Chain A
Amino acid sequence: MIAIIDYDAGNIRSVINALERIGVKDYALTADETMIRGSDRVILPGVGDASAAMKSLRERGLDSVVPTLKQPVLGICVGMQLMCLGSEEGNVRCMGIFPTEVRKFDAAPDLKVPHMGWNALRRPCGPLFDGIPDGAFVYFVHSYYASVCEATAAQCMHGVPFSAALSAGNFFGVQFHPEKSGPAGERILRNFCKL
């Protein structure tokens, strides 16, 4: 069973729709610690403001649960950012699973913020990206980014290079939205379901 963490952090509907499209039927939307611990895989979605999302996770006591999980965990977008050390968005300390900070993109004449649209993955590596070639396009919507670090599993460029994906042990995070990234995104979700 895949536990999708329910912590009132934006629209999880699209994640559920994407799982159904790839034929996953055994999933549950939950904030229950026992249920999360007992699942085979965990997805931490997230849209919106990182500090509000972190607060919401903390209120449910889940900020201390997620880092201790042993099964594969996938953070998506703000879900991934919450797995980093901290974010400039509301100056919030996060769960510290990935050794990197989340910063805001500086808008410039040729650099739109939010970074919105399809961008190419550079050097995707690891089991999450099995079958995903260098240069594959995925869909991003974000104004804050995780800096490149030793846990970076794929890079992307938007004025600066940043972490499009992170991985450390059983923990995976993607800044882009696999649930909105066409066939490439579906492949990545399928790969996660096979881990």
Chain B
Amino acid sequence: MVAKRIIPCLDVRDGRTVKGVNFVGLKDVGDAVELGAKYAAEGADELVYLDISATVEGRRTFTSLVSEIAARINIPFTVGGGISSLEDAARLLDAGADKISINSAALKRPELISEIASHYGSQFVVLAVDALCRDGRWVATTHGGRVLTDRELFEWTHEGQERGAGELLFTSMDHDGTGKGYPCETFAELSERLSIPIIASGGAGSVKDIADVLTVGKADAALAASIFHYGEIPIPVLKRELFNMNINVRL
């Protein structure tokens, strides 16, 4: 059977900084590549690079960073952040990205999913959804959870799958950054409703949290940032512990 994947996420701003990493020596573009290479060597199964640049210049720098990553890294990587057109996707594909993730732009114009998937295949399109639970109803959000949309999570993700998304990256904004674990029941329901692989993001604070979302939550992969960046749970330790819990991981 296909192994459960562990995916570190790196935030990049203006091609230079890696967000949320407060140790020295990770300040420029080269270091985003170095950190990715380090994670790959430690056994990360994939990498996700998110461009959090606010400027056109920053976006341009990110594209050249993607080329550097593609030349250096020998595992698959996804890039996301600010992708709002087929041209954006094409530019990142040409730079060597294996997949792109789209979020707000797809909520604004769902056809974007179909356009990119029909041009470059479903394997290239990851639909990222940030959702909040309000009165028992999961609602997709934009702007990092600050703006609620009128799209319900299960209905929206199903539409995304039908439009050609090849994977779902789901973040609960109620859990993100808390380190208290994932909403496993919601993940399990998503997994039952969808046929595409699901990546769980946001909330991991311990090995048990990750083990739970991969088993009880039936997620196919777990994505995390701070636990890896701060060295709280090194990847080799995490994977060995998951393996010892009879979870199928690549060692």
A residues sitting closer than 8 Å to B (CB atoms) are 10-11, 13-14, 17-18, 20-21, 47-49, 107, 109, 112-120, 137, 139-143, 157-158, 177, 179-183, 185-186
Cβ-based interface call for B98 (8 A): yes
Let me know if B1 and A119 touch, CB within 8 A. yes
Are the C-beta atoms of B197 and A180 separated by less than 8 Å?
no
- Interchain CA distance A20-B72 in the complex, whole Å: 10
B195 within 8 A of A: yes
CB distance from A124 to the nearest CB of B (A): 16
The answer to whether residues A21 and B74 also contact, given A116-B197, A117-B197 and a CB cut-off of 8 A, is yes
Shortest CB distance B70–A (Å) = 5
Interface pair A18/B93, CB less than 8 Å apart: no
Alpha-carbon distance between A95 and B40 when the two chains are bound, in angstroms:
36
Within 8 A of A (CB), among B157-188: 166-167
Mask for B131-154, Cβ within 8 A of A = 1, else 0?
000000000000000000000000
Q: Is the interface of B mostly helix, strand, loop or mixed?
A: loop
Closest 3 A-B residue pairs measured CB to CB? A107-B195, A137-B250, A118-B250
Q: How many A-B Cβ pairs are below 8 Å?
A: 86
- Please state if A158 and B1 are interface contacts (CB–CB under 8 Å): yes
B235 within 8 A of A: no
Known: A21-B74, A117-B45, A180-B75. A11 touches B93 (CB 8 A): yes
Question: Which stretch in B12-20, B116-124, B208-216, B223-231 binds the other chain?
Answer: B116-124
Chain A residues contacting B29 (CB-CB under 8 Å) are none
Cβ contact within 8 Å between B123 and A139? no
For B, the interface residue count at a CB cutoff of 8 angstroms equals 29
List, in ascending order, chain B residues with CB within 8 A of A185's CB. 74
Q: Are B121 and A49 in contact (CB under 8 A)?
A: yes
With a CB–CB cut-off of 8 A, which chain A residues contact B189? none
**B192 interface neighbour in A109, A141, A183, Cβ under 8 Å:** A109
The residue on B at minimum CB distance from A137 is B250
Interface centre among B1, B71, B96 (most CB of A within 10 A): B1
- Contact (Cβ within 8 A) A114 B96: no
Chain B residue nearest in CB terms to A112: B197
- Mask, B74-100, CB within 8 Å of A = 1, is 111000000000000000011010100
Looking at the complex, which one of B40, B120, B192, B196 makes contact with A182 (CB distance below 8 Å)? B40
Inter-subunit contact A119/B3 (CB<8 Å): yes
Cβ contacts A to B, 5 pairs, < 8 Å: A112-B196, A118-B45, A119-B1, A119-B3, A141-B76
